[in-house]
Chains A and B, each alone.
Chain A
Amino acid sequence: EVQLLESGGNLVQPGGSLRLSCAASGFTFSSYVMTWVRQAPGMGLEWVSTILSSGDSTHYADSVKGRFTISRDNSKNMLFLQMNNLRDEDTAVYYCAKDQYSGTIGDAFDIWGQGTVVTVSS
């Protein structure tokens, strides 16, 4: 079964850091572009960051650029999101998502994790 499982969410103070992880299984992880999407309480979906299959190219939303870093370890089928200098407005459920097709750039997201909750508050 194709599965994504996020972890690492927590309560953190403004200015703090957190590292989210996403464990992938059931597919050839190294062949797929991966993405983080977040959803603030009661709000819609917001694309956060995308990393290409090899890990050598990354993209970020303006709202997180310079503070968040996406990375992956293809040998361990893991996706990461390092979040620094966290702000109140980063409070959200963070989902990892898999591109629908391998070997392409720019696809719909066919598999999502269950999400991990990040709360930024003093």
Chain B
Amino acid sequence: DIQMTQSPSTLSASVGDRVTITCRASQTINRWLAWYQQKPGKAPKLLMYAASTLQSGVPSRFSGSGFGTEFSLTISSLQPDDFATYYCQQYNDHAGSTFGQGTKLEIK
């Protein structure tokens, strides 16, 4: 099974900050990585797919990069609505997807 490791687990930041979350795969997944945002009591929302392609309707302050085993999600200027938990997901393994453990983005 492909393991996904996110860091940090928790991130404290202020409105206007630039923040980056990283995700590492235990083996190469090419560019088959997605990022999701989840708010308390809500379903996850797809932000990014194929490592760096922004899902329709997602603000351009979100960007993604990476290939192979190392990936990152960057928010260029944090807005109040961005404080949430973020998950990476590999979908290279067609027999089973896996998620990272999540990064909780908190207000400093």
B-side residues, CB < 8 A to A, are: 1, 32, 34, 36, 38, 42-46, 49-50, 55, 87, 89, 91-102
Q: Across the interface, do A45 and B102 meet the contact criterion of CB distance under 8 Å?
A: yes
Q: Across the interface, do A59 and B99 meet the contact criterion of CB distance under 8 Å?
A: no
Q: Across the interface, do B91 and A114 meet the contact criterion of CB distance under 8 Å?
A: no
B49: chain A residues within 8 A (beta carbon)? 100, 107-108, 110
CB distance from A81 to the nearest CB of B (A): 15
Listed A/B pairs (23) with beta-carbon separation below 8 Å: A37-B99, A44-B100, A44-B102, A45-B36, A45-B38, A45-B87, A45-B99, A47-B98, A47-B99, A50-B97, A95-B43, A100-B49, A105-B94, A106-B92, A106-B93, A106-B94, A107-B91, A108-B34, A108-B46, A109-B34, A109-B89, A110-B46, A112-B45
Known contacts: A95-B43, A112-B44. The answer to whether A106 contacts B99 by CB under 8 A is no
Q: Across the interface, do B100 and A108 meet the contact criterion of CB distance under 8 Å?
A: no
CB distance from B7 to the nearest CB of A (A): 14
Contact count A vs B, C-beta below 8 Å? 62
> How far is it, in angstroms, between the C-alpha of A115 and the C-alpha of B93 when the chains are bound?
24
Chain A: interface residue total (CB-CB under 8 A): 23
A46, CB-defined interface residue at 8 Å: yes
Q: Across the interface, do A108 and B43 meet the contact criterion of CB distance under 8 Å?
A: no
Q: Which of A47, A50, A106, A112 contacts B43 (CB 8 A)?
A: A112
> How far is it, in angstroms, between the C-alpha of A59 and the C-alpha of B97 when the chains are bound?
10
CB distance from A49 to the nearest CB of B (A): 9
Q: Across the interface, do A100 and B46 meet the contact criterion of CB distance under 8 Å?
A: yes
> How far is it, in angstroms, between the C-alpha of A92 and the C-alpha of B43 when the chains are bound?
13
> How far is it, in angstroms, between the C-alpha of A47 and the C-alpha of B97 when the chains are bound?
6
> How far is it, in angstroms, between the C-alpha of A55 and the C-alpha of B96 when the chains are bound?
16
> How far is it, in angstroms, between the C-alpha of A100 and the C-alpha of B45 when the chains are bound?
12
Q: Across the interface, do B99 and A44 meet the contact criterion of CB distance under 8 Å?
A: yes
> How far is it, in angstroms, between the C-alpha of A114 and the C-alpha of B45 when the chains are bound?
11
